[in-house]
Each structure stands twice: as structure tokens, then as C-alpha cells.
Amino acid sequence: MASGFFAVLDDVATLLDDVATMSKVATKKTAGILGDDLAVNAEKASGFVSKREIPVLWAITKGSLLNKIIILPIAFLLSAFLPIAVTIILILGGLYLAYEGAEKIYEFIFPHYHEAPTIKEEAPSKKDILEMEKEKIKSAILTDFILSVEIVIIALGTVINEPLTTQIGVVTVVALLATVGVYGIVALIVRMDEFGLRLINLNEEDNSFSDKVGRFFVNALPIVIKSLAVIGTIALLLVSGGIFVHNVPFLHHIFPSIPSILLEFVIGLAVGFVVLLLVKGIKKIFKK
């Protein structure tokens, strides 16, 4: 009886060790999307009145957890009964990531100028502000759903040949880390300016040490968000290129002398611009 109990404990310990090891690998694979997720959510969670930033971020976080609850069982069912679907979804997700990265680069080189929004003479009412807040939260949760699908599928792709119990453990850990880690960092980022203002108002001196540190945090917020966007774009292309290199046999053996990170970036960029041209061509056809 005792030996059976210790055997179960040994199996559990082995499973946890496998989950921990594979979780590290899966987290590295999803790091690119996590970077983009961080940049997108930092942008969407900023721009609110200071006292509403944390409540809005909490609403988005709850929506993100609900997204994971919906996505995870579907992903595990596909892995158990139709594993080829995981690879197909993985490649489709890679196409989307490559397109998104290429589109950001295209918009940077050839910016699309939008018409200036009409400004109302009357200040928006509290009802209008809450309505705009709800719309922004819905948009953030929808974006999170798309990114969550990609994170879960990429994490699942790294352990697709492992037992189902290991898959469930690894992907669940990565999904929770994606939510808690990303939104925890976003909360710190969006409160940088508020923290800076508190340091500036800490004393009545004009140019004290706390004033300098406070101004640094206030001025750093937009720079951090822009930097995250750039890092996220590069990461998107690297992740998408890695998906193609590891799942398309032809690309896996092409240019063996080129460093893998450079090869993945170039393939991600090339595929992204091909998809971008196709999307723009289809849009023009439908407009006509």
C-alpha cells in the first residue's frame, strides 16, 4: 500500500518536472507574442483618467482569463482527437503574425493619414465616457482573444508529441503566465506617470532629486510604449518565421549556413509582405 502511494508521488513529481522543463521551452517560443501582447495592452490600457486605469485593466484581465477558459479545452480536444489541426492552426497563426508584423513596418514606412476626428463643442458626459470605456475594453478583450489563441497553439505545438497530461500542464502554465505576467507588467507601465507625478509633488522644491526622478518616469512612459511596439514587431516576425521553419520541411533545410535567428526573421518578413500584398489586392478587388 505504502509502496503504491510513493509510486504515485514519484509519478506526480516526474510529471511536474516535465511540465516545468517544457514550460520553459514553450514560454521562450511564445515570448514574441507575449511582447506584442504587452505592447498592445499597454497602449489600450493607457489614456484613461488616472483613477479608472486600474479598474479598466482589471476588467480586461478578467476578460483575458475568460478567453483562456474558452480556448484551452478546445485546444486540448484538438490535440487529443485531431492533432493535425494544431499544426494547421499553428501555420495559419504564423501567417497572421507575419502579416501583422509586415503591416506595422509598412505603416511606418508609408504612414496612412487619418482624417482628424470632429471635436464636439460640449464636453462628453459621464455616460458617454463610460460608453467609450466599455467599447475600449471590448476591443482589448477581442484583441487578447486572438493573441491568446496564438499563444496557446504555439505552446501546444512545442509539446504536441508529449503525453496529454504534460500538454495540459504546460499549456495551462503558459496561459496563466501570459495573463498574470503581461497584465501585471502593463499595470506597472500605465502607472509610471502617476508614480512620477507623486514624486514631483513629494516636496515643495523646484528641482530636487525626487523631481528629476519623477520627470524621468513621466517622460519615459510614451517612450516605453513605443519601444515595446518596435520590440513586439520584431518578435512577431521572429516567431512567425520560426513557425514556418520548424513546420514546413522545405524551409527547415533552406540556407543551412545562415544563423537560425536571421533565417527566421527573413522568412517571417518575406511571408508577411506576401500576405500583406494579397490582402491589399483582395481589398482593392472588393472596392471595385
Q: What is the 3-state secondary structure (H, E, C) of 12-80?
A: HHHHHHHHHHHHHHHHHHCHHHHHHHHHHHHHHHCCCCHHHHHHHHHHHHHHHHHHHHHHHHHHHHHHH
pTM for this entry: 0.69
Per-residue pLDDT of the chain (288 residues; tens, 9 = 90+): 444 433 433 444 444 454 555 555 555 555 556 666 666 666 666 656 666 777 888 888 888 889 889 988 988 888 888 888 888 888 888 888 889 889 989 988 887 655 544 545 555 666 777 787 788 788 778 877 877 887 888 788 777 777 778 788 888 888 888 788 778 887 787 778 778 888 888 877 777 888 888 888 888 878 887 887 787 788 778 878 888 887 777 776 777 777 888 888 999 999 999 999 999 999 888 887
Q: Does residue 106 fall inside a structural domain?
A: yes
User: How many domains in the chain?
Assistant: 1
User: What distance in Å separates the CA atoms of residue 145 and residue 40, rounded to the nearest whole number?
Assistant: 12
Q: Which domain holds residue 156?
A: 21-176+228-287
Q: Does residue 154 belong to any structural domain of this protein?
A: yes
Residue 54 covered by a domain: yes
Q: Is 108 exposed, middle or buried (0-12, 13-18, 19+ CB in 10 A)?
A: exposed
Question: What pLDDT does 194 receive?
Answer: 79
pLDDT of residue 28: 58
CA 141 from centroid of its chain's CA atoms: 12
Phi, psi of 206 (to 5 degrees): -85, -35
Question: Helix/strand/coil (H, E, C) string of the chain?
Answer: CHHHHHHHHHHHHHHHHHHHHHHHHHHHHCHHHHHHHHHHHHHHHCCCCHHHHHHHHHHHHHHHHHHHHHHHHHHHHHHHHCHHHHHHHHHHHHHHHHHHHHHHHHHHHCCCCCCCCCCCCCCCCHHHHHHHHHHHHHHHHHHHHHHHHHHHHHHHHHCCCCCHHHHHHHHHHHHHHHHHHHHHHHHHHHCHHHHHHHHHCCCCCCCCHHHHHHHHHHHHHHHHHHHHHHHHHHHHHHHHHHHHHHHCHHHHCCCCCCCHHHHHHHHHHHHHHHHHHHHHHHHHHHHC
Any domain includes 27: yes
Q: Is residue 157 part of a domain?
A: yes
Contact of 218 with 193, CB cutoff 8 Å? yes
1 is a domain residue: no
Amino acid letter for position 151: I
Quick one: pLDDT at residue 199? 83
Predicted pLDDT at 272: 92
Task: Say if residues 204 and 234 touch (Cβ distance below 8 Å).
Answer: no
Whether 186 is in a domain gets the answer no
Among left, alpha and beta (phi > 0; psi -120 to 50; other), residue 117 is beta
Does residue 211 lie in a domain region? no
Nearest to 174 by CA among 72, 100, 247: 72
Residue 166 · residue 159 · CB < 8 Å:
yes
Tell me if 225 sits within 8 A of 42, measured CB to CB.
yes
Give the integer Cα–Cα distance in Å for 174 and 181.
10
pLDDT at position 250? 77
